[in-house]
Structure 1
Amino acid sequence: MAPEEVSVPDLPLQQHEELPRSRWRELLTFLVLAFGIWPIVAVGVVGGYGFLVWMYQIITGPPGPPGH
């Protein structure tokens, strides 16, 4: 019932083989976030803020001194 033996030189080789695939996945994840998800989130946040200001001004009136 001895655990599987793993020689020390095998470990860096296994990690080195996975490195290019990991970098490709990391690059793909970055590109999806940078050019896909974050622009959509930014537009949603700005649009949501504009909508809240619009609704607030419908209820309370436009900003500025009271009308004469």
Structure 2
Amino acid sequence: MSDSQTVDVPTRRKTETRCFLFLAVFLAPALSIAIVGALGFSIWIYQMFAGPPGPPM
């Protein structure tokens, strides 16, 4: 490898740590909240048209 393609270990470790913290602290919780919210919203919209669950009266 040439010198321009290598990255020293402390810089790479720092970058990987920042990336992991971003994914673990911000992205994963935001995605899980968005997915659960979207599912709840879609069920709510479906029940507006199909009616609530349960036996018909």
Q: Which runs of 5+ in 2 are unaligned?
A: none
> Structure 1 segments of 4 or more deviating over 2 A?
none
Q: Give the one of 28, 40, 54 matched to 2:30.
A: 40
Please report how far the alpha carbon of residue 50 of structure 1 lies from its aligned counterpart in structure 2 after TM superposition.
0.1
Alpha-carbon distance in structure 1 between the residues aligned to 2:22 and 2:16 = 10
The match for 2:12 is: 22
Alpha-carbon distance in 1 for matches of 2:13, 2:42: 41
TM-score scaled by length of structure 1: 0.72
Within 5 Å, which residues of 2 pair with 1:1-68?
Answer: 18-67=8-57
User: Percent identity at matched positions?
Assistant: 39
TM-score (norm 2): 0.85
Unaligned runs of 5+ in 1: 1-5
User: What amino acid maps onto 2:20 in structure 1?
Assistant: F
How many corresponding residue pairs? 54
Letter of the 1:42 counterpart: S
